[in-house]
Structure 1
Amino acid sequence: MLHSYAFSNFQSFRERVEVDLIISRKVAMTEWMNEVPTGERVSRLMAVVGPNGSGKTALLKPMAFLSWFIGQSFQSAPDEGIPVTPHFANSGEPIEFECLLDFDGKVWRYMLRCTPERVLHEALYQKRERFGYMFVRDWDAVTNTYTIKQQDFGLAPQEARKVRANVSLISWAAQYNVPLAKRMAAPLVVTNVNFMGRVPMADQAVLVAAQHFSANANQYDRMRQLLSAWDLGLSGVDLQEMIINNPQEPSQKTWIPFGKHKSHGKEFHLPFTFESTGTQGAFVLLSRLLQTLEIGGLAVIDEFENDLHPHMLEPILDLFANPSTNPHNAQLLFTCHAIEVLNLVHKSQVILVQKNEDCESTASRMDAVEGIRNDDNYYAKYMAGAYGAVPVF
């Protein structure tokens, strides 16, 4: 599980900011928290709220980026840059990332300092009695080479020296079948965010979701049960493999979802293009959430409630609270404009984001804001502007 992550000089965040999912033991235990084997109490979700343009999406991007960098950066072309952007008022300085997590029953710290051109410092530490390095990698500008120290990481030194400037050493080592690197490079983060921002909800997203469900029978069944139970006018969802009109590949097929509707004793099948954007949005969202819930890991979702009725928020979040639907303690990190979420979670599970007059974003966990009481009506006081992180007109 992810315990925390921090970053600085990244997009609209110039100063260091930390997103901490560790919950104090003074807080009453809820189903949205988990006791991990390492002794900490970790939240299964974190909601990010704030006005438009405040930096909410930028707050999510570090975890989406680190997942890609650790797992897939080996696939980058040798002359390709690293897809990160420093704050425009601090463009000459490097970007820094750090995350803390438990994995394989141990606690790990990963650190990265880079520019869009190259890695300057990368390190992986494992906590025993204290943190000790598995590897440390530093760029030597004098010799134009990397110095790499390893301790039980397992990558042959001659292969480590070949690592490219735009590739994580973990991603690099996974290609050489280093066991720890292969496990860490596995896709454990599912997201609708890339370096440009939120991936738009379009017809292609529906087709990608249909393809996913066609290959995952358990998730397909669960999706049909949930969409029908959530009263979206559906009695079920069918997938049909159909030939598409592609002159370059006349026999190419794709999976098309159809909504099942009952009326006057008959059942009708409608292509999903005729369903509401809310139904399509729930279908795509479940394709991301159900795979996270099935294997564990982290779902990073921007504009979580997009096109959904506010009443849908709680039943979807409940998927992460219920042990039967979340047997592997998956986590959810999400931005949200439906402020009703403040009535559902504890103040320690909310991040408030705002931007100052210098176009610098800041973020604070809600329980760190002075003067917020446990018996406050968080929704009412937030809407009244008592906590900040609201639009100013």
Structure 2
Amino acid sequence: MLLQFSVKNFRTFKDKATLSLVASNYDKATRESENIYHDNKFNLRILKSAVVYGANASGKSKLFEALMFMERFVITSSKESKKGDKIDVEPYKLNSESEHSPTEFEVIFIFKNVMYRYGFEADRKMVISEWLYYRPNTKEIELFYREGNNFEIHQKKFSKANTLVKEGLVRDNALLISVSAQFNDDTSISVLNWFENLKTISGLHEEGYQGFTMSQTEDRPYKAKILSLLKVADLGIQDIKLQKLDIDKLSKNVPKELVDKINKEVNEEKAEFFSDIITTHKKYDINKKVIDSVYFSLDDDESSGTRKIFALTGPIIDVIENGYILVVDELDAKLHPNLVCKLVSLFNSKDLNKKNAQLIFNTHDTNLLSSGLFRRDQIWFTDKNQFGEAKLYSLADFKSDEVRKTESFEENYINGKYGAIPFLGFFDNLNTILPAYENEG
């Protein structure tokens, strides 16, 4: 489970921003049994969901992009680059000091009953520093600390990494943790496995994970679960079926190289390609009795919201069943607010979310603030100052006399009590500004 993520000097975040999923004592009596997992080994109360609000361009998506960058760099830095390649990290550019300073990332998480704290600093040229600590029981132990090309490594508990460093196998633009995992170091593999279990997706571009859901429908039990979620969403879909791609009917505009590749994979590797999902709906007579079924194309006949919820079902079931972490940018896009509430409730539920999967998402849907689904420590905001610097803070950061449990969080947020909303004063002056220019040109 994710306990904490921090980022500094990344895109719009000049100063350090920290998202914590460790529950505060501020709301100890609120939704304690539903929204919180109690880790008895480390005596921690861990939140199962969190939501981030903020104005457009305030840093909501950039926060998730930072987590995605860290995930990608950890998994790929040792195998998808070579010596001299640039690191595609992007510092805060609106300040003459920060634009030449390294970017910093750190996560704290629990994986297989061990707590880890891992992080690194990097600029475009190299890894400036890197560190890994772990806590198998009560005491945190340093496994390694890296400063440029100088490494301090625990001789007994991280010995394989020590050998890699001595043999010069760690490039200055690659992470030691990634290289060590390539050479089968058990601790490094555990760290990479945790990052691989971190599922980050876009709520705006469901085509990026629709293929995963389509592939899962070929497994009968998994398909039944997908159908159950679709029925809960009240879409009227009774069944789904994959429509295989007819290679002979491919458009003449499809490049011959692609057609040849598809044919080769079908004939030699027995691969299957699908062109669409066919959804089944009930057909009624004049007396509202079911008399037949009607078949729709998911791409051509179903709404954009239906396409999105179908695409989401695969990742959601995967995450729930395996206890992973799902991070969604713009979860509410194309979805009804009540449906978003149902998805959040699924993750908060102690009965349906038995492996304590976590959901982290951003949204503009203020209805969630009055839904009663969230504690104050689960509600986060991003705000940007006049210098373009974003900050991240929680509703739990406000003093108890400023934010009471009984208050309307939605009304307060809309009215600007918590910040993180756009300043629209310019619109109030349009009636005087526009006439001044109406005769120009």
What are the Cα deviations for residues 329-360 of structure 1, in whole angstroms up to 9, with x where unaligned?
11111101111121221111011111111111
Deviations 1:38-94 (Å, cap 9, x if unpaired)?
Answer: 111010111000111100011122322222222232232214332321000221001
CA distance in structure 2 between the aligned counterparts of 1:270 and 1:148, rounded to whole angstroms? 61
User: Structure 1 unaligned runs (5+)?
Assistant: 140-144, 193-197
Within-5 A mapping of 1:246-265: 246-251=258-263, 252=266, 253-255=272-274, 256-264=276-284, 265=291
Q: Secondary structure at the match of 1:76?
A: coil
- Pairing partner for 2:45 from 41, 44, 47: 41
Alignment check: 8 A CA contact 1:43 1:349 kept: yes
> Does the CA-based 8 Å contact 1:46-1:349 persist in structure 2?
yes
TM-fit CA distance, 1:99: 1.5
Aligned residue runs from structure 1 range 140-219, under 5 A: 145-151=149-155, 152-160=157-165, 161-186=168-193, 187-192=196-201, 198=202, 200-201=204-205, 203=207, 205-211=209-215, 213-214=216-217, 217-219=220-222
Equivalent residue of 2:245, what SS?
A: strand
1:225 corresponds in structure 2 to 228
Match of 1:22 in 2: 22
Post-superposition Cα deviations, 1:84-126, rounded to whole Å, max 9, x if no partner, equal 2100022100111122111221221112111122111111101
Encode CA deviations 1:159-187: one digit per residue, 9 max, x unaligned.
23311223222221111111222222121
Residues 217 and 159 from structure 1, CA distance in 2 versus in 1: closer, same or farther, beyond 3 angstroms?
farther
Question: Equivalent pairs: percent with the same residue?
Answer: 25
Query: Partner of 2:392 in structure 1?
Result: 363
* Structure with the bigger percentage of helix: 2
Cα distance change, pair 324–81 in 1 and its aligned pair in 2 (3 A):
farther
Q: Deviations over 1:243-271 (max 9, x none)?
A: 45352335353233221111122112222
TM-score by length of 1: 0.91
Contact 1:138/1:147 (<8 A) preserved: yes
Report matched runs for 1:274-353 at 5 Å.
274-343=301-370, 344-353=373-382
Please state whether the residue corresponding to 2:101 is helix, strand or coil. Answer: coil
- Deviating more after overlay: 125-134 vs 182-191: 125-134
Instruction: Give the equivalent residue in structure 2 for 1:61.
Output: 65
Q: Aligned partners of 1:63 and 1:10: how far apart in 2?
A: 10
Indicate the residue corresponding to 1:272 in structure 2: 298
Q: Specify whether residues 374 and 199 from structure 1 end up closer, same or farther in structure 2 by C-alpha distance, changes over 3 A only.
A: closer
Task: Return the alpha-carbon distance in structure 2 between the equivalents of residues 31 and 202 of structure 1.
Answer: 29
**Unaligned 5+ runs, structure 2:** 251-257, 267-271, 285-290, 425-441
Structure (1 or 2) with the larger CA radius of gyration: 2
- Going from structure 1 to structure 2, the CA distance change for 1:308 and 1:14 (only over 3 Å counts) comes to same
Superimposed CA distance per residue, residues 141-160 of structure 1 (whole angstroms, 9 cap, x where no aligned partner): xxxx3434234024253323
What is the distance in 1 between the residues matched to 2:221 and 2:61?
Answer: 31
Change (3 A) 1:156 1:64: closer
Cα distance change of structure 1 residues 156 and 369 upon mapping to structure 2, 3 Å threshold: closer
Q: Deviations over 1:254-303 (max 9, x none)?
A: 23322111112211222210211001111122222221112112111100
**Structure 1: how far apart are the matches of 2:397 and 2:179?**
39
Distance across 2 between alignment mates of 1:117 and 1:126: 28
Aligned CA RMSD, in angstroms, stands at 2.0
**CA–CA distance in structure 2, aligned partners of residues 118 and 294 of structure 1:** 38
Find the counterpart in structure 2 of residue 114 from structure 1: 122
Amino acid at match of 2:48: R
- Matched-pair contact (CA < 8 Å) for 2:153–2:162: no
Distance 1:154 1:240, change over 3 A: farther
What SS does structure 1 have at the residue aligned with 2:225? helix
